[in-house]
Structure formats: C-alpha cells, structure tokens
C-alpha cells in the first residue's frame, strides 16, 4: 500500500487506538488489497461486499473475523480516504452471540501458578489475576507503576486510552519482589529477554499461560484473559460492589461489568426459586 499504509497508520495514531488494533486494521486492509491485486483506493463498495462474502463462504471465517475486516475497511474509507459513501452501501455483518466468559476457580488459579517455576512468568500471571489486568496492560507496565507502599498499581493508557488505579495484592507483591531480586529489570517491568527497554510480546504471555494450564491439568477452554474474568468474578463472589469492580477493571459502562452477575455461581446460589418458597 505504501503511501496509503503510512496515511492510515497516521490516522490510527491520531485516533489513539491501541497498538493491537492498529496492527489488526493495517493487516486487514492489506489482505483486502492483495485479494484484488489493486490499490484499495481503486476499489468500491461492490468489491468490499464481494470480499466479505468470500470470507464467509469460501474461507468459512468466523463472524468476529468478518467484523474486524468490516470495521478496518470502514475506518480506511471513512477516515483515511474520506469516502463514506463506500461503506454506506455495505451491510454491517451480523454480530456474534455474546458468550459468557469462562472462569477458573481459586484452586485452579493456584494450580496454574504453582505449575510455573520461572519467577518472571509466575509474577506476570500472578499480577494478571490479582489485579485484573489485560495482557496488553501487563506488558506495558513500568517499574514506576508499582506503588508497593499503598498497594496500588497504576495502569497507564489502558483500553480507550484511559488511566486507572487497581489493587496490588500482598501475595502478588511477594512474588513480584522475588522476581525483582532475581532479574532486577530496568524501566519496563517485564522486558523481552536481553532487551531491557523492549516490552514482552503479548503472544509470549499467552504461551506461558497455555503451558502452565497444560502442566496444571486444566481442561477448561480458557485463555490468559480468563485470569481477568476470574479476578472480577471472585471479587463479586466476595461481596465487592459492581461499581468498584467496574473501576478496577476500567470499564466505561457498568453494563459491561454486569456480565459477571451471570457468571458468578455464588450470586445465583443466593437466589431462592419461588418453587422452594
């Protein structure tokens, strides 16, 4: 794409989207252009519709994947090229059914952490669970974000470019100090091996979690993000208010946090069926 790639990258930068979203949008538009072997500014709504149908019929792409392509192309034509008429003629793909998050119980969390012998990796997973961090937030943490005196972690530039504070567990702090004594990181709390100023790749954290899950014998369909879901669910089970959970997670709307009401089995168990009354 050349010039258009740079132009789109600049527009995404100005919008302040996350690094992950930036990479995804640039990649999707590149794949779209490569499919037709033309520069995307030479293509119209007809090609966009044909491409999305191709993804669904020929590639059997998941609805979520098709949606990513749709919004990447919408950004490209609406914002980068200022050609809003292109995407106005393209129906938005049907939204996927919202699934309830799968959570780990406390025993499973403990087994996963005990399965990790590397002090750095154990500290990463312990922080994700005990503080409710997203993986992108974890890898961007700096040493100065850790306020051990007040038991607080500052999360800078979280989802939606928001800053927030979250709790720092005493147990996680012990694990973190053990890691600190062994590795003595510089500015970035969890840097790439041999590169003290380069943040760890998010996929590396997922691989660490997958290996720990395998060693712990956990069969649930969970990802590293399930640690954050487990954090919220366990807080709710313990009686923490939805409002405070919302603040700790950095949700813009309480409606997003309310999904954990459906996940918490303890909350459901407290409801008495009218048949039992």
Active-site residue identified among 74, 122, 134, 213: 134
229 is catalytic: no
Active-site residue identified among 5, 119, 164, 225: 225
Chain CA centroid to CA 240, Å: 23
Active-site residue identified among 159, 164, 183, 215: 159
Active-site residue identified among 74, 120, 122, 228: 228
Listed residue (257, 209, 211, 267) closest to 232, CA to CA: 257
260 is catalytic: yes
**Distance (Å, whole) CA 22 – CA 34:** 18
**Distance (Å, whole) CA 233 – CA 263:** 7
234 is catalytic: no
Active-site residue identified among 120, 122, 229, 251: 251
- Which residues are part of the catalytic machinery? 134, 159, 225, 228, 251, 260
């Amino acid at each position: 794409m050349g010039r258009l790639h740079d132009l789109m990258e600049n527009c995404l930068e100005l919008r302040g989207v996350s690094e992950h979203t930036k990479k995804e949008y640039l990649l999707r538009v590149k794949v779209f252009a490569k499919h037709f072997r033309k520069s995307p500014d030479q293509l119209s709504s007809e090609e966009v519709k044909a491409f999305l149908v191709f993804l669904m019929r020929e590639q059997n792409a998941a609805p979520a994947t098709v949606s990513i392509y749709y919004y990447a192309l919408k950004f490209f034509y609406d914002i980068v090229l200022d050609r809003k008429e292109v995407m106005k003629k393209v129906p938005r793909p049907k939204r996927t059914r919202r699934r309830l998050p799968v959570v780990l119980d406390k025993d499973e969390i403990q087994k996963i952490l005990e399965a990790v012998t590397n002090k750095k990796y154990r500290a990463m997973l312990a922080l994700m669970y005990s503080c409710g961090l997203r993986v992108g937030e974890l890898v961007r943490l700096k040493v100065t974000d850790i306020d051990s005196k007040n038991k607080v972690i500052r999360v800078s530039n979280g989802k939606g470019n928001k800053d927030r504070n979250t709790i720092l567990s005493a147990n996680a702090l012990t694990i973190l100090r053990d890691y600190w004594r062994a590795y003595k990181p510089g500015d970035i709390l969890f840097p790439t091996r041999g590169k003290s100023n380069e943040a760890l790749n998010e996929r590396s954290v997922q691989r660490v979690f997958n290996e720990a899950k395998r060693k712990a014998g956990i069969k649930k369909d969970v990802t590293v993000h399930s640690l954050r879901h487990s954090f919220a669910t366990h807080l709710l089970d313990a009686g923490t208010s939805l409002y405070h959970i919302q603040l700790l997670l950095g949700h813009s709307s309480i409606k997003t946090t309310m999904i954990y009401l459906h996940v918490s089995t303890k909350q459901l168990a407290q409801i008495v069926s009218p048949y039992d009354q």
